[in-house]
Amino acid sequence: MSGIENIIEIINAKTEAKEQEIIKEAERHKRLKIEEVQRRAKDAAEIITKKAEQQAKTELSKYMAGAKLKAKYQMLDTKEALIKDVLLTVRARMEEIVEKAEYKKILSNLIIDGSSALNEEKLELIFPKNHASKVEIAEIEKAVSKKVGKKVNFTVSKDNVRSKGGVIIKALDGTRWVDNTFEARIERLENKVRDTISEILFSDEK
Amino acid sequence: MCAAHDDIDKIHESELAAREKIEEAEKKARQIRESADKEAKALMAKAEHDAKQKASKMLSEIEGKKSEVEKEILSETEKTIENMRKCALKKREEALDVVYKMLVGEA
């Protein structure tokens, strides 16, 4: 081989080596880039999936809490309906009782209890229309006098109270009174009555 | 002198050919890099697309689970309410008597 051919051979060999190096470097760059992107793509996919999982979980929990709350309200509504049924039935019974003989005893007791609480010697009784005749005032005076330990006198008011039953007992000076009409008692005792009904109806519940 | 010129020309030609080959290789390398960019973008887009589809499926499945949960809770509640109502009705008369006595002052 001549000198010049040798030189050309060297140039060609170096060129080929350089070519290979350039291509090899580009392919290495490509491989690294793809590997890096595969990692990033996996991470990005995981973020999206985890976010969706969390969102689904939260949504389901929220929905479940809502459904449980709805169920609780249904329970409360049912309880309320059962309590109301008892209250309405009792109210109806009270309205019916005024026409029966046992009303005399009930009305007398309401007067005695109210009078004892007031502890006055002179008291006025205000009845619903036509109810005054259903009690024996003299008998009640005796019972109250015995209970409070002093002579008690009643006067029956000419006025009437608008009520289904019961009585208002009032000190003669008008400063103190006990409203023992059915309506006032229902209103006054409502919370206690509701608690009692709940206790009886729902006491077996855990 | 002529032979020497010929040699120089040959070397020169050979260098030119080498430069062209290098330029060609560089061009090919650029194409490889560009294709890497394209592949990378496509890979990322596909991964995101697949993940979004999976997420969307996951969220749509929730609707079915919601109905299941609601059905289950509703059924349990109905049973509880029914039991409660039965127990309460057994004690209704007792409650009526106690409350009646409280309200008319007999208790």
Q: For A154-188, what is each residue's pLDDT tens digit?
A: 999 999 999 999 999 999 988 999 999 999 999 99
pLDDT of residue A2: 79
Note if the pTM is more than 0.80: no
User: What is the C-alpha separation between A27 and A17, in angstroms, rounded?
Assistant: 15
Least Cα distance to A125 among A105, A112, A100 occurs for A112
Residue A171 corresponds to which amino acid?
A
Q: What is the mean pLDDT of residues A75-84?
A: 97
Cα separations in angstroms, A200 against A72, A194, A196, B81? 20, 10, 6, 16
Residue with tokens 């999206």: A48
> Which residues between 33 and 62 in chain B have a beta carbon less than 8 angstroms from any beta carbon of chain A?
33, 35-37, 39-40, 43-44, 46-48, 50-52, 54-56, 58-59, 61-62
Query: Closest Cα to residue A30, out of B20, B36, B82, B21?
Result: B36
Which residues of chain B carry a pLDDT beneath 50? none
pLDDT tens, position by position, A117-144: 999 999 999 999 999 999 999 999 999 9
**Beta partners for A124?**
A155, A170
Instruction: Give me the residue from A59, A71, A109 closest to B73, CB to CB.
Output: A71
What residues of B are in contact with residue A201 (Cβ under 8 Å)?
A: 87-88, 91-92, 95
Does B23 contact chain A (CB < 8 Å)? no
- Cβ-based contacts of B52 with chain A (< 8 Å): 48
Given a contact cutoff of 8 angstroms between Cβ atoms, the answer to whether B98 and B107 are in contact is: yes
Band of residue A90 on the pLDDT scale cut at 50, 70, 90: very high
Q: Which residue of A has its CA nearest to B64?
A: A60
Residue B21 tokens, joined: 């080959």
B76 touches chain A (CB under 8 A): yes
User: Which one of A1, A2, A5, A15 would you mutate to disrupt binding with B, by most B Cβ within 10 Å of its Cβ?
Assistant: A15
Nearest to B102 among A38, A56, A193 (CB): A193
- Alpha-carbon distance of B92 to B86, in angstroms, equals 10
pLDDT given for residue A137 in this prediction: 95
The overall average pLDDT reported for chain A is 95
Percent composition of chain B: helix, strand, coil (DSSP 3-state, to 5) = 95, 0, 5
- Provide the pLDDT for residue A1: 62
Q: What ipTM did this prediction achieve?
A: 0.81
Residue A178: what pLDDT? 97
Q: Which chain B residues touch A80 with a CB distance below 8 Å?
A: none
Report percent pLDDT > 90 for chain A.
Answer: 94
Q: What is the pLDDT of residue A206?
A: 46
A contact residues 12-71, partner B, Cβ 8 Å cutoff: 12, 14-16, 18-19, 22-23, 25-27, 29-30, 33-34, 36-38, 40-42, 44-46, 48-49, 51-53, 55-56, 59-60, 63-64, 67-68, 70-71
pLDDT reading at A10 higher than 90: yes
